[in-house]
């Protein structure tokens, strides 16, 4: 199992998942503290995924 933490303040949870031995990543549009694994526009990703989904439109 991996943990994917999205949006602001996800870094704290990411670090705690790791302390518990669970691989974890965080995603956010900002990287103020230089610790965000994936600096990405999550809103655009959601829109993209929604448009590309097979069963929903």
Partner 1 sequence: MHIGGQSIFDEMSSDDLILAFFPCTRFECQCQMLFAGTAYQFTNASDETKLKYDIKLHGELHDLYCLLCKMCLVVIDKGLKMVIENPVNQPHYLTMYWSIKPRIVDKDRTQNGDYMKKPTQFFFINCEPKNNLVFEAIQHVDMRNVERLTNQEKDRKTLRSEIHPQYANRFIRKYLIDYEQDFSKLYEEGSEEDERAIHEKDIESLKHRLAAIQEMGGDSD
Positions 38 through 57 that interact with partner 1 (CB under 8 A): 38, 40-56
Cβ distance 28 to 10 under 8 Å? yes
Q: Does 30 interact with partner 1 (rule: CB under 8 A)?
A: no
DSSP string, 2-48: EEEEESTTHHHHHHHHHHTT-EEEEEES--TTS--SEE--HHHHHHH
Which residue, 15 or 31, is less far from partner 1 as judged by CB? 15
Q: Does 34 interact with partner 1 (rule: CB under 8 A)?
A: no
Give contact residues for partner 1 (rule: CB under 8 A): 1-10, 12-13, 15-17, 19-20, 22, 27, 38, 40-56
């Amino acid at each position: 199992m991996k943990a994917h933490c999205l949006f602001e303040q996800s870094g704290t949870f990411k670090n705690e998942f790791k302390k518990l031995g669970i691989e974890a990543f965080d995603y956010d549009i900002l990287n103020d503290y230089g610790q965000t694994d994936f600096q990405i526009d999550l809103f655009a990703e959601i829109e993209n995924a929604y448009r590309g989904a097979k069963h929903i439109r």
